[in-house]
Structures are given as C-alpha cells and as structure tokens.
Structure 1
Amino acid sequence: MPAVTTLDPLFTALDTEAFTDRHLANLAAGTLAAARVPSFLDTPTCRAALNALDRLPTADYDPTRVPTPIVRFGPALNDYRDPDGRLDAGRYWRAAEAARAAWHRAGLRPDPVSVAMARLGSAWGAALVPATIDGRAVFGGTLREINAGALIHYDDINREFPTGLFDQDIVAQLAFNVWVTVPAEDGATTVWRHRWQPDDEQHRDAYGYRPAAVGHCQQVSLTPELGDGLLFNPANFHAVEPNPGGRRIAFAFFLGLTTTGQLITWS
C-alpha cells in the first residue's frame, strides 16, 4: 500500500495588505510559511533605489564558496566566520564601516531599508534596533542580485555561531526581502517545511544542499513582483530559482526575536 503524505495545513504563504504582529509571531512560531505584501514599495521608490545602485560598490562572492554567481553589497555576518565558528571581528568591522560609509555616499532617497524597518517596527509595536556585539551595532541591510539562482540552504544565527555572537539572545529568526527590479518570469523563492537535521549533511553541496535533502518535504513557492516585500523563517530550507532573462535585485536583512520580545536586525 503506498505511503500517504499528510500536509501541514498551517504551512502556507499568504498575501496581505500590510504586515502585522500576528504575521511576525506566526512566522517565528512556525505556523506560517511566508507572508508577502505586494507593492510594499511603490514603483517610483523602486526606480529611485535602482538608479542609486551604480553608486554602491558591489562584488561577486568567491566562486569556490558560492558556485552560482551572486552580486552583493554589504557584509553578512556568516561570511566572516573563522574555522572555529567565531567571528573574524577585525575583518568584519572594517567591512561594516566601509559599507555604512558607501551607503551614506550613495544617498538612497527614500531608503528602502529604512522604510522597511520602520514599517515592520510599527507592525510589531516597537522600533527595530540593530543587534549588537559588545555594545557595537552590526550592519543591517544588504543588496543581492541573484539571477543564476541560489542553492537550497538555511540561515540560523544560533547554529552559525553556536558559542554565541550578539549581546541579545535570539529565540527565532526571520528574513525580509524587498525587490526593486524583477525578471519577467522565473526567479521564485521556494521555502520547504524542513529544518536542518544531521542526516542532511550527506546531501551537502558547497554552501547548500542537493534537492534530495527536501525531496519529500512540503513547499511553497513565490515569484516576486516589483516592490514585493517578503517575510519568512529562514531556518526552513529555502532556495531561489534561476531567471535566465532580466535582473532580480532585492534589499534584505534578518530580524531576530529576542528573549525579551524585542526585534533586532542584522545582515
């Protein structure tokens, strides 16, 4: 008799006019796969952000670590881990200060990251604040141009830095993306109802995992439209589908729910 796969009725993606504290809480609790606000940024704001991109110093990832080409601006903490799982602090803080200076010089008006953080803070009922390390605020608000796709992977600051990193203790992590240009088709983000397990390492592929790791798992896929804002829990395995034509550019950051109920941010 064939096996019967039972789906989780709560693992769904929803479109909403605005993010609310309930969306954030459900994503943190794992009772929602993703929440999307169509036209989170209007077309003029997207166009202004896109026009400012040539004023930001972007670079490709090291292809030996990230085999699919991804153009980026801004440091991500997990790119600065040493072999022992600790932060290479000197290198990170130099990159963070350089990125802040470059962001200021670029003069993004309106600033899509500031707009997003303000709206999410209003939804939560308290302002988002940067995560800190020894009292020092980390950088938040990267840019990613992903046209060739991204491997199946997960993001979990507590696993990436198991000995601890921030002054704040985090109980759940969310990821936010807002797109300022999108291809005519393809480029979907897929989120699987699966979190890392030791057996997944047999499917390891560079920084991510081969499809066999999630072949049996429930999933949701969302193809971005211009200005869409997306929230999901990145502890769930997720990936980006390639888009052969056009450009797919998003501003992004992480949110962490702390043990005191505060929302902190980082990249």
Structure 2
Amino acid sequence: MPRTTALDPLFTAVDSTAFTDRHLANLASGTLAAVRVPGFLALDACQAAMGALDRLPTADYDKARVPTRIVRFGPALNDYRDQGCGLDAERYWRDAEAARAAWQRVGMRPDPIAISLARLGSAWGAAVTPATIGGRAVFGGTLREINEGVLVHYDELNREFPTGLFDQEVLAQLAFNVWVSVPATGGATTVWRHRWEPADEQHRQAYGYRPEAVEHCQRVDLTQQLADALLFNPANFQAVEPNPTGRRIAFAYFLGLTTTGQLIAWS
C-alpha cells in the first residue's frame, strides 16, 4: 500500500540569490525540501579547487561497504563508528589531523569551505563554529567526486550516534554542497519526503536502501550547474543519479542547529 497519495505543498525546492536565516529555519523544521543558490562561488574559486585537487590525498571507499565508486578527501564521522555506535576515536583523530595538514599544504585560495561558512554565518547572524568532542574541533569540509551515483540513504547524527557525540546538543542537521565540477548530463540529487522508519530495513542495501523504500514518497529532483550551492535536510532520504560522462565534484559538510541556537559544522 502507498504511504500517501497527497502532496505536501511545503515540500518544495527553491532557488535564491543567497541563503537566509529563514531558509535555514525552514529546512531545520521540515517545511522546505531544499534551497539552491546558483553561482554561489566565483569561477576562479572553482578553477582553484580543481587545480588543487591532484595535490590532495584522495582515496576510494571500501567496495564492500560502498558499492559505487566515490573518491573522497577528508574524514566523515559516520565512517568511524565502532560496533557499539560510538566513535573509533584513535583512527578518526589521526585521519582528521592528517587531512588538516594536507589542506594547509595545498593552501587553496580562494577557499570554498571558508567562503561558504562565512556566508552561512552571516545569514544566520552568528559565526558557524566547528562541532567539538571533548573540546577538540572535528574536521569539516570533505571533497567528493561522485560519478557512479549514490544509493538511497539518509544522514542523521543523532541516530548514527544515539548516545551522543558532540559537546553541543544538535536539534536539526542540514547538508551543504557546492560544486566545483559538474557533468553535462546526469548526477542529479533527489530528496524524498521520507525519514527513516523501522519498516525501511526490509529494503536495506549496503549502506543504504533499495528504491522500494521511497517509491511512493514525494520527491524533488535537483540538477546542479558549476558553482551552485545546495542546502537540504539529510534526515530525508536522498540519492544521487549516475552521470555517464564528466566529473561531479563537490565540497560538502553538515551543519547542526544546537539547543542554544548556534550553528556548528562537521563532516
């Protein structure tokens, strides 16, 4: 049986010349699907990023866990969960410090991560600060090249680390992406109006889910152009379609709205 046949009129994607505090609040509360800012970066920033890419130590995911090839730079916390849903701290901090050192060596200017964090902080009215664990700032700002697509999945820190992880308490999580290379066709992002529920586990596939988990759910499809930025709530199921040619490369990180009204960032 379909979960619903009615459409939520608030679950839409909007284009804007800039991100605003209202956008962030609506995404956090679930009354908006996504916000896209075309031309968020200047073209020289995209060119600088692509010029530095070969100097960054990138790697593939383990095929056993991620069946589609994704090349990435920088550690993501959900890749360091131990069997008890805690953090493999020794491995994470080692890789986080190595990534920071590599980023400093490259000296990317303009810096897409610094630019985006500054603009989002300006929109919110207070600077975005790194999430911390025991007073120690986590890494923020991964780079990913996704050409073979991404399975249907969700990202939700409070479910991935149910006993808590950060010094800050996160109420809502947002995902930020900005593209420095895009293919001519394919590579669209889809966000569904659906959050995890126990019945979804019958559709489990590797780190994500088979399409049947969302086949009756409302969706928005978002294509990207060079230098576009996108914000959405990653607790909603999401996927990326393959692109047959070209390179789809983005800088990405998560934002968290805390119980004290702050915005924090991590990858």
TM-score by length of 2: 0.98
Aligned with 2:264: secondary structure? strand
Say if 2:59 is the partner of 1:63.
no
- List per-residue Cα deviations over 1:53-111 (Å, max 9, x = no partner): 01100000000000000000000000000011000000000000000000000110000
Tell me, in whole angstroms, the C-alpha distance in 2 between the residues paired with 1:247 and 1:265: 26
Mapping 1:205-216, distance limit 5 Å: 205-216=205-216
- Contact 2:4 2:217 (C-alpha < 8 Å) held by counterparts: no
- The residue number in structure 1 matching 2:238 is 238
Tell me, in whole angstroms, the C-alpha distance in 2 between the residues paired with 1:118 and 1:42: 15
Q: State the AA in 2 paired with 1:40.
A: F
CA RMSD of aligned residues (A): 1.1
Tell me, in whole angstroms, the C-alpha distance in 1 between the residues paired with 2:141 and 2:169: 21
Identity over the aligned pairs, expressed in percent? 77
- List per-residue Cα deviations over 1:9-63 (Å, max 9, x = no partner): 0000000000000000000000000000000002111111111101100000000
- The residue number in structure 2 matching 1:188 is 188
- The residue number in structure 2 matching 1:147 is 147
Quote how far apart the aligned CAs of 1:3 are: 10
Query: Which deviates the most, 44-53 or 139-148?
Result: 44-53
Tell me, in whole angstroms, the C-alpha distance in 1 between the residues paired with 2:118 and 2:3: 47
Tell me, in whole angstroms, the C-alpha distance in 1 between the residues paired with 2:114 and 2:247: 23
Aligned with 1:102: secondary structure? helix
List gaps (5 residues or longer) in structure 1. none
Tell me, in whole angstroms, the C-alpha distance in 1 between the residues paired with 2:19 and 2:163: 32
Tell me, in whole angstroms, the C-alpha distance in 1 between the residues paired with 2:152 and 2:67: 12
- Contact 2:3 2:217 (C-alpha < 8 Å) held by counterparts: no
- The residue number in structure 1 matching 2:178 is 178
Quote how far apart the aligned CAs of 1:4 are: 7.7
Tell me, in whole angstroms, the C-alpha distance in 2 between the residues paired with 1:127 and 1:81: 28
Aligned with 2:54: secondary structure? helix
Aligned with 1:180: secondary structure? strand
Aligned with 2:257: secondary structure? strand
Mapping 1:1-267, distance limit 5 Å: 5-267=5-267
Tell me, in whole angstroms, the C-alpha distance in 1 between the residues paired with 2:102 and 2:3: 55
Tell me, in whole angstroms, the C-alpha distance in 1 between the residues paired with 2:98 and 2:4: 53
Tell me, in whole angstroms, the C-alpha distance in 2 between the residues paired with 1:221 and 1:236: 13
Tell me, in whole angstroms, the C-alpha distance in 2 between the residues paired with 1:258 and 1:8: 26
Tell me, in whole angstroms, the C-alpha distance in 1 between the residues paired with 2:161 and 2:4: 38
Quote how far apart the aligned CAs of 1:5 are: 1.5
- Contact 2:12 2:34 (C-alpha < 8 Å) held by counterparts: yes
Tell me, in whole angstroms, the C-alpha distance in 1 between the residues paired with 2:182 and 2:240: 13
List gaps (5 residues or longer) in structure 2. none
Go from structure 1 to structure 2 and tell me whether the alpha carbon gap of 1:13 and 1:90 turns closer, same or farther (over 3 Å shift): same
* Segments ≥4 residues shifted beyond 6 Å: none
Tell me, in whole angstroms, the C-alpha distance in 2 between the residues paired with 1:222 and 1:167: 34
